[in-house]
Amino acid sequence: MAFGPNPPPIQAHLCVKGGLEAIAFYEKALGAKCSFHTMADDGKRVMHANLEMFGSEVMLHDEFPEFGGHILSPQTRGGAGMTININLPKPEDVDAAIARAETSGAEVVMAPQDVFWGARYGTIRDPFGHIWSFNAALTGSAA
């Protein structure tokens, strides 16, 4: 799914502590595929990675406080500043996605449930502090 010169209009770019561990977690828990990553000069931190998931792409990097520290991980900031929402085709996909993430080490923040806007919805916090929500219309189309 390489996007080449035509990337999606909006992409999340996650900052984490432990980039290689984060890549492994997202592959296991969310079915991501790391299509590219490059390491920093220290050989320990991920300078940049592209993760293909859910028909789109998420970018990822480790913290680099030596470059000004304006982008920090949720762990350093004391919590996530946003939720990454994944719209899924079927309500049962929400339950399956959250179960897979929890089995892989995520914390369930809101168990899957039918919500007032006519969808099946739930949220997790990944081990790196990012919040992910999963949503599917109860009628089968994206809510």
pLDDT tens-digit series, residues 82-129: 999 999 999 999 999 999 999 999 999 999 999 999 999 999 999 999
Domain end residue (candidates: 32, 51, 77)? 77
The residue written with tokens 């920090």 in the block is 72
| Domain co-membership, 91 together with 65 | no
Report whether 76 contacts 128 (CB < 8 A).
no
> Domain limits at 94?
83-137
pTM of the model: 0.91
| Domain co-membership, 48 together with 72 | yes
Average pLDDT over residues 57-68: 94
> With bands split at pLDDT 50, 70 and 90, how would you rate the model's confidence at 141?
very low
Q: Higher pLDDT residue, 74 or 68?
A: 74
Report whether 28 contacts 104 (CB < 8 A).
yes
| Domain co-membership, 70 together with 106 | no
The tally of domains found in the chain comes to: 2
The CATH number given to whatever domain includes residue 31 is 3.10.180.10
- Can you say whether residue 66 is alpha, beta or left, with left for phi > 0 and alpha for psi between -120 and 50 degrees? alpha
In a domain, 7, yes or no: no
